[in-house]
Amino acid sequence: ARIVVLVSGSGSNLQALLDAGADPGYGARVVAVGADRDGIAGLDRAAAAGVSTFVERVKDYPTRSDWDAALTARVTEHTPDLVVSAGFLKLVGPHFLAAFGDRYLNTHNTLLPAFPGIHGPRDALAYGVKVTGATLFFVDAGTDTGPIVAQVTVPVWDDDDEQTLTERIKEAERRQLVEQVGRLVREGWTITGRKVTVP
Ligand code: GRF
């Protein structure tokens, strides 16, 4: 199976998928990596793995909708079976969702529906929860609201700060991402309302 990964930052989740895909038995490989900005480690990781990259910046287009259409076209060129947002900090629009809405995965660093948005671990700490985790889901038009594929729990320790908690979540998150993407591409999936079924 062909995977396109979208990134905006360090790309450690991307790296986990690149590493997994190096084994032919995994059943999927990253064929391209897209970003919404230049100069990020995620793009360097892709280049180091010999994977082609592209950048589509919102500010290079007259409207958000034009950017959305351009991003959709770039991803379409690579004929992906699955698109994975791995720390991609942009909400895609209607063009993208029309093309990939049933095969666009995102990983979020809390147990949704708690603490959506870009400061998940910080918000979880501030709330004082004792358990948090990571959620893999199919993206819909909302922010972190789509049908859930899998979740993994992570304990919050009394002496955690944002950084220690974020790192503990990321370890579990990467493992979950690799396991579940492998399972999805090998088994297939259907989405019925909010329910994701893997046969
Ligand atoms: C992940 O923890 C993801 O949940 C959050 O940003 C992080 C991306 O990290 N939205 P990386 O770029 O994969 O290292």
85 close to ligand 1 (CB < 6 Angstrom): no
Residue 193 and residue 174 share a domain: yes
Name the packing angle between helices 162-187 and 12-21 (round to 10°): 30
Domain ranges, residue 190: 107-199
User: Quick one: pLDDT at residue 102?
Assistant: 95
Q: What is the pLDDT of residues 45-87, one digit of tens each?
A: 999 999 999 999 999 999 999 999 999 999 999 999 999 999 9
Average pLDDT over residues 163-192: 97
Residue 73 and residue 16 share a domain: yes
Cα of 87 vs centre of ligand 1, distance in Å, is: 4
ipTM of the complex model? 0.93
Residue 120 and residue 78 share a domain: no
Residue 113 and residue 96 share a domain: no
Residue 123 and residue 68 share a domain: no
Domain end: 100, 117, 147, which one?
100
106 close to ligand 1 (CB < 6 Angstrom): no
Residue bearing tokens 């609201």: 145
Residue 70 and residue 55 share a domain: yes
Q: Which residue, judged by its Cα, is nearest atom 5 of ligand 1?
A: 87
Domain count, the chain: 2
The answer to whether the CB of 56 falls within 8 A of the CB of 67 is: yes
Cα of 43 vs centre of ligand 1, distance in Å, is: 14
- What average pLDDT does the structure give for the chain? 97
CATH code at 89?
Answer: 3.40.50.170
Amino acid at the residue 23: D
108 has catalytic annotation: yes
What does the block give as tokens for 42?
Answer: 């995620």
Residue 131 and residue 76 share a domain: no
User: Quick one: pLDDT at residue 178?
Assistant: 98
The pairing of strands 29-35 and 52-55 is parallel
The confidence band for 166, taking pLDDT boundaries of 50, 70 and 90, is very high
Domain end: 54, 72, 100, which one?
100
Q: What is the pLDDT of residues 98-109, one digit of tens each?
A: 999 999 999 999
Domain end: 76, 100, 124, which one?
100
Residue 189 and residue 131 share a domain: yes
The confidence band for 116, taking pLDDT boundaries of 50, 70 and 90, is very high
